[in-house]
C-alpha cells in the first residue's frame, strides 16, 4: 500500500548548518565582484542555494558511515556494502565504482561508443558530455505526453536505429530533471533494444522521483511501494549508472552496474586507467559507505512522500502566483524568457542576478551556453529545508515577479562556451528587498522519528502506565518533554568539538569559552561545570551563611534544593501576576520590590545572602523580566549592599522578549540587550543545556569579585573536575564556546521564540486554553479548563498528556497535581496550576511538526467530554511523577 502523504517530516534535525544573510549592499558588492554570474558566488555570500546536487541532508546513519570508511586501496569493506545495497535496491549484480556520473559516462562511452556515432536518448542534459567526444545525442522523447514526458517515442527510436546503428540506447529516469518515464514505456524500450541486439543504458540518479510519478500516475501502480517500483525500473535496463550526489544524498560518488559479467569485465578493465581500482573507482572509502547507506534509505516511503510533497507545494505556490515555470523533479524550473520578456539575451542570467540581489537566493544556470532553453532551475536541496523556508523563498520569487519589468538586461563582457565562463556588466535596479524570518539554518543530518499507528501508541501508553516519562523515545514521533540538552548542534560546533585538544591543564577550548562568556556577559571569572545544578551547588555554598534568606523570583527545583542544603531559606519575591495563569501582564518574571523591602525591614540587609534572580522564569512558564525591573532591583541592592546572582539559563530568550516587547529596544541587537541585562548583576549560574545550544554543560561566572571566584574554584576542584574544565572534556567546552556565539544571533533567537508563539496561536485560535502570555521556551495547556469535568484528584493534566501521545505520538509533560506530590497529611497538594507543558527543543523541529502537534490537541479539544481521569496503580513516595503508574478511571470502573 502506498503511504499517505505525511503532514510533517518523518525525521527531526540532528545537526544544522548555519545560513548567512548578507545585507543588500553586500549582495550588490558580491554580484559586481562575481561579474554578474552567480556561479562565482560562494556559499557564505548566499542565503538559500537552490541546487539539489550534493547538497542534501544526510541521515545520521550516513554520517556514521562517513566515519567508518576503511580507506583501503583494494577490497574495501565499504565496496562490499555498496555492492550488496546496489543488488538489493536496484537489482544488478556486478558493480563498477566511479568517482561520479562523469566517471561512469567516461567508462561507458570508452567501452561502447566511438566518435561519429549517433546516440538516441530521452535526455538532452548530457549533450555537453557527448558533443566534445564527437558523439551526437539525438532526441527520441515523445513530445505528445502530459505526465510521462520522458517517455520514448518508440517509432522515432525504431526509425533512428534503422538509419544508423547506435552504440546503445540512452535512457534517463526523470530525464533532465523534468521528464519522468513510465515503467511500461521503459519496458517497451527494453523490448525494442532486445530486438535490435542493443543495450538499454539507464541513468538512475533520479529514479526515486520517477518512481513516485509511476506510483501516483501510472495505471495499476498505485499500491506498489517506491522500493518495489525503483527495483523494477532499474532492472529493466541492461546497464545502469548512478550519480551518488542525487537520490542517494552522498556529496559525490557513482557507479555503473549490470547483470552481464562480460560488460562488467569491460568496465573494470577501463577503471584502472581512468578512475582508480575496480573496488573503489575513485571514491574514498567513506564516500562508498555514505553512498551505500543512502541507497539503502532512499526508498523509505514516508521520506519520499515528504520530499515530493515539498516539491509539489513549492511549485504550486509559484504557479498560483503566475510565475512561468516548468516542472522539475526537485523543484521549479523558471522559464526566464517568459518571466523577463523584455530581456532578449541571457534572461536566465539576468533573472538569477535579480533574485540574488533582492533575496540572497541563488539559482544556478549550468552546462553549455547558447542552447536556447532559458530555464533557471530552483532546486530544493534534498531534505535540507523546511516548508517555512521554501514558502519564503517562493514568496521572494513572487515578489520579484511583481517587479519583473524593472529587471535590467545584462551586457555580455566575456563570452564563452559554458555558462560558468560568461561575464557580464549591469546596472542595479532599485528592487524592494525581501526579508526572511524563517529558520536561519539548514538540516545537515537527520534523525528518523517514530512513525506509529494509534493502536501501537495506545499499547505503548498502556505499557508506560499512562506516564509519558516511561515511554521509550523510539515510540515517540515529536518529543516535547524538555528543552534541556535536546539541541541540534551546528556543524561549526561539531568542527570545534572534533578539533579540541584534550588536556587536564588549560585547554584552548577553555580560553575560547572564557572569551565568549566575557564578550557576551561581560563577566570576568569563568568556571565551567558539567551542568547548571553543579554551579548552583557551588554558588550556594560560597554565598550563603546558614540561616540567611535567599529571595528569588519564584524558584527552580534544583536551585532551591541547593540553597536549602547550604542552610538558606528561600523567599518568593516574584510579582503576584506570576501566580495567576489568566493574567496578561507582560513581565510576569519581575521581582516585586515591595516584597524585597519587607524582607529587609523584617530581617535586615545582612541577613539576605543574595537575590536569586532568574531570567525567563521557567516554572512561571518562561516569563520574562523587564529591563526596568532589572535596573530597579540592582539600584535597590546597591543601596543595601546585597549581591544579585542571576540564573541566566534562558537569559537570551529574556533578552529577545525585551527586544520584542519593549519599544525602546526594538532596534537593539539581542547581544547588546543581554550585555546590558548582565550589568545589573554580580554573577550568574547557567544550565548550558538550554541557551548555550549544547547537549551537556554549565557555568558559574562572576562579574569581578575575585574572592568569590577563588572560593568557588576550590569547590570546583573537589566537586566537578579541573579548575579550567569543571569536569567537561575540552570537546564539550569547545562546542559550548561556539554555542555561546551562536545563541545571540538575532535571527536564530527570533525563529526559536517565534515557534512557541505560533504554536500557542494555533491552539488559542481553536479555543484550547493556554497559559497567557506565551513564554519563550514552552507552551502550557491549562488542563483544568480543558477537562473541567475531571476532578483534580483524577489527574487531568496527566491524562491529557497521555491522550496527546495516543492521538499524535507527541510526548509532553504533566506539571500539576502529580508533579507537586502530597502534603504531610497524605492528601494531594492540589496546586493552582494543573498544566501540560509542550517544550520546544532548539533547532530540531519544523513548523509542520508543530502544526501537527496543534492539530492533534485540537482534535482532543473537540472531543474533550470523552476524556476521563486516571488513578494511581503504583505511587512512589518521592518525585512520583517520574516513576508513577496509572490506569484510566473508566478501566477501573469497568472492573
Sort 10 into a burial class: Cβ within 10 Å, 0-12 / 13-18 / 19+. buried
Residue placing its CB nearer to ligand PLP in the complex, 82 or 840: 840
Minimum CB distance to ligand PLP smaller for 623 or for 798? 623
Mention every residue, 6+ apart, whose C-beta is less than 8 A from residue 519.
Answer: none
| Binding range to ligand PLP, per CB under 6 A, among 203-211, 505-513, 552-560, 667-675 | 552-560
Give the rounded distance of the alpha carbon of 73 from its chain centre: 36
Residue 719 Cβ vs ligand PLP, minimum distance, rounded to whole Å: 13
Q: Does 755 bind ligand PLP (CB under 6 A)?
A: no
Local structure of residue 334 (DSSP, 8 states): E
Compare residues 179 and 588 and give the one whose CB is closer to ligand PLP: 588
Q: List the x/- string, 615-654, binding to ligand PLP by CB under 6 A.
A: ---x----------------------------x-x-----
Least distance in Å: CB of 466 to ligand PLP?
A: 26
Question: Which residue's CB is nearer to ligand PLP, number 417 or number 820?
Answer: 820
H or E stretch at 327: strand 325-328
Given a contact cutoff of 8 angstroms between Cβ atoms, the answer to whether 653 and 622 are in contact is yes
Q: What is the DSSP letter of 608?
A: B
Q: Does 462 bind ligand PLP (CB under 6 A)?
A: no
Cβ neighbours of residue 331 closer than 8 Å, sequence gap 6 or more: 50, 52, 311, 314, 315, 377, 378, 379, 380
With CA atoms as reference, report the closest residue to 494 among 690, 734, 748: 734
Q: How far is the CB of 791 from ligand PLP (least distance, A)?
A: 31
> Does 8 participate in binding ligand PLP (rule CB under 6 A)?
no
Residue 387 grid cell: 516548508
210-219 core/surface letters (b: 16 or more CB in 10 A; e: else): bbbbbbeebe
Residue 670, exposed/middle/buried by CB under 10 A (0-12, 13-18, 19+)?
buried
Task: Choose which of 203, 243, 330, 614 interacts with ligand PLP (CB under 6 A).
Answer: 614
Residue 610's closest CA among 668, 693, 658, 545?
545
**Element (DSSP H or E) covering residue 186:** helix 183-195
Distance CA(738)–CA(42), nearest Å, equals 23
| Residue of 56, 328, 331, 532 that binds ligand PLP (CB under 6 A) | 532
In whole angstroms, how large is the CA radius of gyration of the chain? 31
Give least dist CB 697 to ligand PLP, A. 8
Q: Which stretch binds ligand PLP (CB under 6 A): 222-230, 366-374, 551-559, 762-770?
A: 551-559
Kindly state the smallest distance separating residue 716's Cβ from ligand PLP, in Å.
15
Strands (E) across 477-524 are located at 478-479, 489-490
| Residues contacting residue 214 through CB under 8 Å, at least 6 positions apart | 180, 182, 183, 221, 224, 229, 233
Comparing CB distances to ligand PLP, the nearer of 186 and 620 is 620
Tell me the window of 184-192, 240-248, 305-313, 530-538 that interacts with ligand PLP (CB under 6 A).
Answer: 530-538
Contact stretch for ligand PLP (CB under 6 A) within 225-233, 383-391, 426-434, 682-690? 682-690
Spatial neighbors of 644 by CB under 8 A, at least 6 apart, are 610, 611, 613, 633, 634, 637, 680, 681, 682
Count of residues near ligand PLP by CB under 6 A: 15
Residues 685-704 that bind ligand PLP (CB under 6 A): 687, 689-690, 698
Give whichever of 78 and 484 is closer to ligand PLP, judged by the CB atom.
484
Query: CB–CB of 413/423 below 8 Å?
Result: yes
Residue 533 sits in the site that holds ligand PLP (CB under 6 A): yes
Which residues, 480 to 519, sit near ligand PLP by CB under 6 A? 484
**SS3 string of 87-114?**
HHHHCCCEEEEECCHHHHHHHHHHHHCC
DSSP 865: G
- Decide: 17 and 843 in contact? Cβ < 8 Å: no
CB of 526 to ligand PLP, least distance (A): 17
- The residue among 548 and 649 lying less far from ligand PLP, judged by its C-beta, is 649
Closer residue to ligand PLP, CB minimum distance, 258 or 701: 701
555-574: contacts with ligand PLP (CB under 6 A): 556, 558-559
C-alpha triplet 777, 788, 802: angle, nearest 5°: 55
Q: Is 780 in the site for ligand PLP (CB under 6 A)?
A: no
Shortest distance (Å) from residue 615 CB to ligand PLP: 8
Contact region with ligand PLP (CB under 6 A), list: 82-90, 308-316, 499-507, 525-533: 525-533
For position 531 contacting ligand PLP by CB under 6 A, the verdict is: yes
303 binds ligand PLP (CB under 6 A): no
Of 90 and 481, CB closest to ligand PLP: 481
- Which of 215/687 has CB closer to ligand PLP? 687
Per-residue b or e along 421-431, where b marks 16 or more CB atoms closer than 10 Å to that residue's CB: ebbbebeeeeb
Q: Per CB under 6 A, which of residues 223..242 are in contact with ligand PLP?
A: none
Q: Which is nearer to ligand PLP, 101 or 559 (CB)?
A: 559
List of residues contacting ligand PLP (CB under 6 A): 484, 531-533, 556, 558-559, 614, 618, 647, 649, 687, 689-690, 698
Amino acid at each position: 500500500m502506498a503511504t499517505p502523504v505525511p503532514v510533517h517530516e518523518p525525521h527531526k534535525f540532528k545537526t544544522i548548518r548555519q545560513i548567512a544573510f548578507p545585507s543588500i549592499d553586500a549582495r550588490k558588492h558580491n554580484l559586481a565582484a562575481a561579474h554578474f554570474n552567480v556561479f562565482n558566488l560562494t556559499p557564505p555570500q548566499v542565503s538559500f542555494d537552490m541546487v539539489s546536487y550534493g547538497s542534501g541532508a544526510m541521515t545520521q546513519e550516513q554520517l556514521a558511515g562517513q566515519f567508518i570508511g576503511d580507506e583501503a586501496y583494494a577490497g574495501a569493506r565499504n565496496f562490499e556494502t555498496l555492492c550488496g545495497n546496489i543488488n538489493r535496491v536496484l537489482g544488478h549484480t556486478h558493480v563498477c565504482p566511479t568517482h561520479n556520473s562523469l566517471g561512469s559516462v567516461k567508462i561507458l562511452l570508452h567501452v561502447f561508443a566511438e566518435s561519429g556515432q549517433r546516440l538516441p536518448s530521452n535526455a538532452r542534459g548530457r549533450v555537453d558530455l557527448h558533443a566534445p567526444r564527437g558523439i551526437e545525442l539525438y532526441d527520441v522523447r515523445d513530445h505528445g505526453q502530459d505526465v510521462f514526458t520522458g517517455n520514448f517515442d518508440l517509432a522515432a527510436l525504431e526509425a533512428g536505429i534503422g538509419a544508423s546503428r547506435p552504440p546503445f540506447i540512452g535512457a534517463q529516469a526523470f530525464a533532465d530533471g523534468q521528464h519522468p518515464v513510465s515503467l511500461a514505456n521503459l519496458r517497451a524500450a527494453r523490448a525494442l533494444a532486445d530486438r535490435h541486439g542493443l543495450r538499454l543504458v539507464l541513468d538512475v540518479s533520479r529514479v526515486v522521483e520517477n518512481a513516485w510519478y509511476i506510483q501516483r500516475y501510472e495505471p495499476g501502480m498505485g499500491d506498489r511501494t517506491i522500493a518495489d517500483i525503483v527495483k523494477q525500473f532499474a532492472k529493466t535496463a541492461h546497464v545502469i549508472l548512478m550519480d551518488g550526489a542525487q537520490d542517494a544524498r552522498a556529496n559525490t560518488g557513482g557507479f555503473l552496474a549490470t547483470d552481464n559479467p562480460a560488460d562488467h569485465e569491460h568496465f573494470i578493465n577501463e577503471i584502472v586507467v581512468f578512475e582508480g581500482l575496480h573496488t573503489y573507482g575513485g571514491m574514498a572509502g567513506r564516500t562508498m559507505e555514505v553512498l551505500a547507506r543512502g541507497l539503502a534509505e532512499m526508498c523509505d516511503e514516508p521520506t519520499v512522500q515528504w520530499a515530493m510533497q515539498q516539491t509539489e507545494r513549492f511549485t504550486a505556490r509559484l504557479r498560483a502566483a503566475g510565475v512561468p515555470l516548468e516542472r522539475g523533479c526537485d523543484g521549479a524550473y523558471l522559464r526566464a524568457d517568459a518571466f523577463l520578456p523584455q530581456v532578449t539575451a541571457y534572461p536566465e542570467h539576468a533573472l538569477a542576478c535579480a533574485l540574488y540581489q533582492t533575496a540572497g537566493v541563488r539559482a544556478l544556470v549550468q552546462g553549455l551556453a547558447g542552447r536556447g532553453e532559458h530555464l533557471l532551475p530552483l532546486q530544493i536541496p534534498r531534505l535540507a529545508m523546511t516548508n517555512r523556508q521554501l514558502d519564503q523563498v517562493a514568496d521572494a520569487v513572487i515578489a520579484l515577479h511583481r517587479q519583473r519589468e524593472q529587471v535590467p538586461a545584462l551586457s555580455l563582457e566575456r563570452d564563452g562556451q559554458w555558462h560558468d565562463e560568461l561575464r557580464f556588466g549591469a546596472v542595479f535596479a532599485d528592487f524592494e528587498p525581501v526579508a526572511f524570518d524563517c529558520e536561519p539554518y539548514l538540516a545537515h543530518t537527520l534523525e528518523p522519528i517514530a512513525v506509529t499507528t494509534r493502536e501501537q501508541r495506545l499499547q505503548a501508553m498502556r505499557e508506560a502506565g499512562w506516564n509519558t516519562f516511561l515511554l521509550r523515545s523510539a515510540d515517540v514521533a515529536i518529543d516535547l518533554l524538555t528543552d534541556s540538552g535536546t539541541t541540534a548542534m551546528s556543524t561549526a560546533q561539531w568542527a570545534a568539538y572534533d578539533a579540541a585538544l584534550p588536556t587536564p591543564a588549560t585547554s584552548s577550548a577553555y580560553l575560547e569559552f572564557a572569551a565568549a562568556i566575557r564578550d557576551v556577559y561581560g563577566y570576568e571569572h569563568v568556571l565551567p561545570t558539567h551542568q547548571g545544578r553543579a554551579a548552583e551547588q557551588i554558588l550556594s555554598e560560597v554565598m550563603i551563611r546558614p540561616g540567611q534568606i535567599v529571595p528569588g523570583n519564584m524558584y527552580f527545583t534544583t536551585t532551591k534544593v541547593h540553597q536549602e542544603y547550604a542552610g538558606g531559606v528561600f523567599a518568593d519575591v516574584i510579582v503576584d501576576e506570576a501566580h495567576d495563569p489568566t493574567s496578561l501582564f507582560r513581565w510576569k518574571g519581575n521581582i516585586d520590590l515591595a516584597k524585597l523591602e519587607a524582607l529587609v525591614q523584617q530581617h535586615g540587609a545582612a541577613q539576605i545572602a543574595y537575590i536569586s534572580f532568574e531570567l525567563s522564569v521557567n516554572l512561571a512558564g518562561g516569563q520574562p523580566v523587564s529591563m526596568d525591573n532589572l535596573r530597579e532591583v540592582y539600584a535597590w541592592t546597591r543601596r543595601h549592599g546585597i549581591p544579585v546572582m542571576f540564573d541566566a539559563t534562558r537569559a537570551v530568550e529574556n533578552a529577545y522578549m525585551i527586544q520584542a516587547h519593549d519599544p525602546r529596544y526594538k532596534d537593539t541587537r539581542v547581544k547588546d540587550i543581554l550585555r546590558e541585562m548582565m550589568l545589573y548583576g554580580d554573577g550568574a549560574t547557567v544550565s548550558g543545556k538550554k541557551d548555550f545550544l549544547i547537549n551537556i554543560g554549565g557555568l558559574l561566572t562572576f562579574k569581578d569579585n575575585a574572592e568569590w571566584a577563588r572560593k568557588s574554584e576550590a569547590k570546583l576542584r573537589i566537586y566537578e573536575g579541573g579548575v579550567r574544565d569543571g569536569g567537561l572534556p575540552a570537546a564539550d567546552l569547545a562546542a559550548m564556546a561556539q554555542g555561546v556565539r551562536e545563541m545571540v544571533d538575532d535571527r536564530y533567537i527570533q525563529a526559536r521564540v517565534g515557534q512557541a508563539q505560533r504554536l500557542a496561536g494555533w491552539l488559542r485560535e481553536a479555543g484550547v486554553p493556554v497559559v497567557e502570555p506565551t513564554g519563550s521556551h514552552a507552551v502550557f495547556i491549562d488542563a483544568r479548563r480543558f477537562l473541567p469535568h475531571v476532578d483534580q484528584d483524577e489527574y487531568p493534566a496527566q491524562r491529557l498528556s497521555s491522550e496527546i501521545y495516543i492521538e499524535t505520538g507527541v510526548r509532553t509533560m504533566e506539571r500539576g497535581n502529580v508533579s507537586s506530590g502530597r502534603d504531610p497529611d497524605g492528601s494531594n497538594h492540589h496546586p493552582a496550576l494543573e498544566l501540560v507543558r509542550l517544550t520546544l527543543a532548539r533547532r530540531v523541529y519544523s513548523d509542520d511538526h508543530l502544526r501537527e502537534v496543534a492539530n492533534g490537541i485540537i482534535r482532543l479539544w473537540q472531543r474533550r467530554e470523552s476524556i476521563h481521569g486516571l488513578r494511581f496503580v503504583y505511587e512512589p513516595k518521592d518525585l512520583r511523577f517520574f516513576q508513577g503508574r496509572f490506569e484510566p478511571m473508566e478501566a477501573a470502573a469497568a472492573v
